[in-house]
Amino acid sequence: MNFQKNSYGGGRPVFVNPPALVLGGFELDTASQNFAVGAIIPAGTLAIINESTRKVSVLKSARVTAIDAEDAKIVTLEHDEYLSNPFYVGDMVHVIAGEGEDPDTEITISAISEGVVTLSAEIPDLAVGDVISEVINDESSPAFIGAFNGVTIADIKVNSGVTGIDVSKDAVLYANRVLPVPSSLVTNNYLTVNPHIRYSDSL
């Protein structure tokens, strides 16, 4: 496989302890999600690990840091040397706060300039600190793209061909060092679907 990855330690460790690798080899599912060639998927990103197809999809998410006062469709997302904007033009996005709180407005990313995105429409009641995530339409309401059951182990650079990816289903992560996880996916700092994925609030 043609892929790039770094040690889990890296310049800023995201794991409290070395994560347990799921053996067998996986590749990024670029048929179900869009990525820019050269984009970096950071270590610790939530993932949907399909052990039958050996494909992995990831949670594209980012925390809102500013909203344009004159045009609420222009949104600034958390973006630094460790966590870059994960979205691609055309991605459907929304804020899914919890069960029963999913509005039916279809909103996509229409433009990207590093950490600033322009949305096709305003997200109702969007506020600084909210987590925007890639979604799909599920019976006309936004829903997560699937059931996330693991995390990426290392930074992965998306290639034009097959992008290999290492993943774990058993890891403890520093919550403030990875792409933000919507609150509806966790229970008491444990990933609800797979409680072997745990988040620490330590710095």
State the pLDDT confidence band at 96, using cuts at 50, 70 and 90.
confident
The pLDDT of residue 9 is 40
The pLDDT mean for the chain works out to 89
User: Is the confidence at residue 99, as pLDDT, over 60?
Assistant: no
| Length, in residues, of the chain | 203
| 138 SS3 class | strand
Domain ranges of the chain: 20-45+149-200, 61-143
Q: Which CATH architecture has domain 61-143?
A: Beta Barrel (2.40)
The pLDDT of residue 24 is 87
d(CA 143, CA 134): 9
Contact 151, 46 (CB under 8 A): yes
The pLDDT of residue 85 is 87
What lies within 8 Å, CB to CB, of 175 at 6+ separation is: 181, 189, 199, 200, 201
What is the rounded average pLDDT of the residues 79-84? 87
Question: Whole-model pTM above 0.95?
Answer: no
